[in-house]
Amino acid sequence: MRFRLALRDAAVTGLVAAGLFLPMVALRTDVAPNGALFLRTRWSDAAILITLAALARFVLVLWLGRRIPVASTASPWWEEPLRRAGKLLTPLLLGVAVMLPFIPGTGRYELDLGVLVLTYVMLGWGLNIVVGLAGLLDLGYVAFYAVGAYSYALLAHAFGLSFWICLPLAGILAGFWGVLLGFPVLRLRGDYLAIVTLAFGEIIRVVLVNWVSLTNGPNGMSGIPRPSFFGLPFNMSGEPDTFAGFFGLEPSPLHRVIFLYYLILGLALLTNWVSIRLRRQPLGRAWEALREDEIACRALGINITTTKLTAFALGAMFGGFAGAFFATRQGFISPESFTFIESAIILAIVVLGGMGSQIGIALAALIMIGGFEVFRGLEEWRMLVFGAAMVVIMVLRPRGLVSSRTPTVALGKRKAISGSLVGEGHG
Amino acid sequence: MARRAESAGQTMSQPMLALEEVCASYGAVQALKGVSVHVHAGEIVTLIGANGAGKSTLLMTICGDPRARSGQILFDGQDITRQPTHAIMRGGIAQAPEGRRIFPRMTVMENLIMGAEIAGHDPARDLEHVFTLFPRLKERATQRGGTLSGGEQQMLAIGRALMARPRLLLLDEPSLGLAPLIAKQIFAAIRELNEREGLTVLLVEQNANQALRLAHRGYVLVTGRITLEGPGRELLSRPEIRAAYLGGH
């Protein structure tokens, strides 16, 4: 009985696979040496793939029965150990993050990767204020990242201001753009808001590409000043007014990387600290209430306008900080770096982490950005493996990696509430 | 609680809430066509009517959403017709909106705190007050709002509105979707609030029978116009009311 079922299932899977692989793998147009197009057929490759798919399905059905993975609200067995491990996870991750430059075996590559991951952690935490807390779906977050980066580059070029003066200015300017975006979209929610923010992100990018006299267009801006250690530049000369010379160290190019690493770690932790503090205050609670029910918020006398605008402004501000950091780290920026895919990645980090969870977002950034790097060896299979990994995560944990939520007020002890108790988005 | 406690119907002076010839519309659809309603301090006033008569619109218009196209709304003699919604809700009016609209992913405690937050006073006393009125909420204080039963959610919606220490409570169909026994408990709580603390209540209900029994006065709203007005019991005994809203028996 099971055998027949498995056979039938394998046949169906084979058919589906044939439908996919015959046009995509078996038939392929190539360019002949004389420049003409010709059709190359690869029947054997396609046949192997189809057989593999059917065989895999056959084995799977025989082994597991016809169990379809479903998202259930029951706590699976791994929930409890995971929660216990989760308590240790935050201090552990923080410890590793702080100690990373001094862990033996950490080289230039690991530090650069750490900087990259932390940049996305910070962007994720910044976007989380808008999407996770206030529930305003923003598909154009990269615009604020771009505003921050270009603010720093332009201010440094035009006025010769140092990184430490430009950093807050970039944040303020990005926050200002957040308010500017906020006004027209005050009345929008959900899908409509997503479309407008998506367009906003593109507008910023297109302006950067076309305003050549200011931004140098698609060629980008280079020669952006590198950050100094509170006035002490990093270079290899070893003179007393450089970082290495001042502290009597052997000049090393690693110093700047370590400094950048701690800089972004500090910025990310600042974002985290501000979000956590705000969540426990009236404004943060108003954001969360706004996410839950806008009409109820109005009935309670919450000023929707200012609540939304502050969410946009604060989220944008942290995006701007991250952008300024990005500019000073790269030394070169161009509109290429601020395409829609960046917004999508940041949003994916927030969603994958479990909207509103700080540690979840940090984990998701580590998995997403670290994953990109780890799978680099797989070359063209990278996106496939990566996509599969994301599907698996969403099947196993449909509400994100960390779906529990700590209440902002409690009688006595604070107790996290499992996300399983209510469905996504509704009661 | 030191709330205003004039006995019902006897304050013939200035009403606490007065709607004068209020018109409101959604786009081209006119929902209220010149409605005048008065609520005196210490009264329970109910507004009954069929689906689509404009009952909820009237409550929402008091809150400024949709805004009145013409006419005037006075609260304590002050014109609130053009005030922004959040300012109206901070001035002593609270609403438990239709369909309860609690915050499902926030805990019961957080839901209640949200009610007091804008008023800016220390919520401890008000929490105690709500928990005495609805002991069930205290048991559920750490649960998410969305996990409560319908009746508990209604208690939470009313409790959340009370947290702001309102002088006028607007209730939009508190018995909607509740078992008759639970609805009865809710009505009992409203009566208690009114009798013990002198809270003024404007109640919109489909359940005309219970609402008219509870209320001191009632208004009947038909397609955006007030057609009848009078003491609750009196309306209850009128044959046309019985025929239209009480199933004819």
CB contact under 8 A, A298 and B114: no
The set of residues, in sequence order, having a beta carbon less than 8 Å from that of B73 and lying 6+ positions away, is B17, B18, B19, B20, B22, B61, B62, B79, B80, B81
How confident is the model at residue A418, as a pLDDT?
58
Given A299, A409, A422, which is nearest B105 (Cβ)?
A422
| Spatial separation of the C-alpha atoms in residues A239 and B160, rounded to whole Å | 66
Q: Do A303 and B84 touch (CB under 8 A)?
A: yes
Residues of chain A positioned with their CB less than 8 A from the CB of B110? 285, 288, 407-409
Distance from CA of B246 to the nearest CA of A (A): 31
Q: Looking at A54-63, B9-18, B152-161, B165-174, which range is the least confident one?
A: B9-18
Residue of B56, B60, B88, B114 to mutate, interface with A, max A Cβ within 10 Å: B114
Sequence-distant (6+) residues with CB within 8 A of B10 are none
Inspect the interface and report whether the beta carbons of B144 and A422 lie closer than 8 Å: yes
Q: Which residues of chain A have pLDDT under 50?
A: 421-427
> In the structure, what pLDDT confidence band is assigned to residue B69 with cuts at 50, 70 and 90?
very high
pLDDT of residue B12: 54
Mean pLDDT of B225-245: 89
Measure the CA–CA gap between A354 and A289, rounded to whole angstroms.
Answer: 17
Stretch B229-237: mean pLDDT: 91
B86–A422: do the CB atoms touch at under 8 Å? no
Question: Between B105, B118, B147, which is nearest A300 by CB?
Answer: B118
Rg (CA), chain B: 17
Contact A296 B101 (CB under 8 A): yes
Helix ranges, A129-182 (H): 142-159, 163-182
Q: Are the C-beta atoms of residues A364 and A352 closer than 8 Å to each other?
A: yes
Question: Could you give the ipTM of this predicted complex?
Answer: 0.85
Run of H or E including B169: strand B168-172
- Look at B164 and A301 and tell me if their CB atoms are within 8 Å: yes
Residue B249 pLDDT: 46
Question: Across the interface, do A302 and B97 touch by the CB < 8 Å criterion?
Answer: no
- Per-residue model confidence as pLDDT tens digits over A150-173: 999 999 999 989 899 999 999 999
What is the C-alpha to C-alpha distance for residues B171 and B202, in angstroms, rounded to an integer?
A: 6
**Residue B36 DSSP SS3:** strand
Model pLDDT, residue A277: 94
Bin A264: left if φ > 0, else alpha if -120 < ψ < 50, else beta.
Answer: alpha
How far apart CA B59 and CA B96 sit, in angstroms, is 10
Q: Is A415 in CB contact (< 8 Å) with chain B?
A: yes
Note whether A384 contacts B: Cβ–Cβ < 8 A.
Answer: no
Task: Give the rounded percent of residues in chain B with a pLDDT score beyond 70.
Answer: 94
- Interface residues of B toward A, Cβ cutoff 8 Å, are 63, 65, 84-90, 94-97, 101-107, 109-110, 113-115, 117-119, 141-147, 160-161, 164
CB contact under 8 A, A411 and B164: no
Q: How far is B71 from chain A (nearest CA, A)?
A: 22
Omega of the bond leading into B66 within 30 degrees of 0 (cis): yes
Chain A residue closest in CA terms to B88: A301
Count how many Cα atoms sit within 13 Å of the Cα of residue A366 in the half-sphere of its side chain: 12
Strand-pair category, B29-39 with B17-26 = antiparallel
Q: How far is A405 from chain B (nearest CA, A)?
A: 9
How many angstroms separate the CA atoms of A187 and B163, rounded? 28
The whole-number pLDDT of residue A79 equals 67
Q: Which residues pair with A221 in a beta bridge?
A: A333
Query: What mean pLDDT do residues B36-46 have?
Result: 95
- Give this prediction's pTM: 0.83
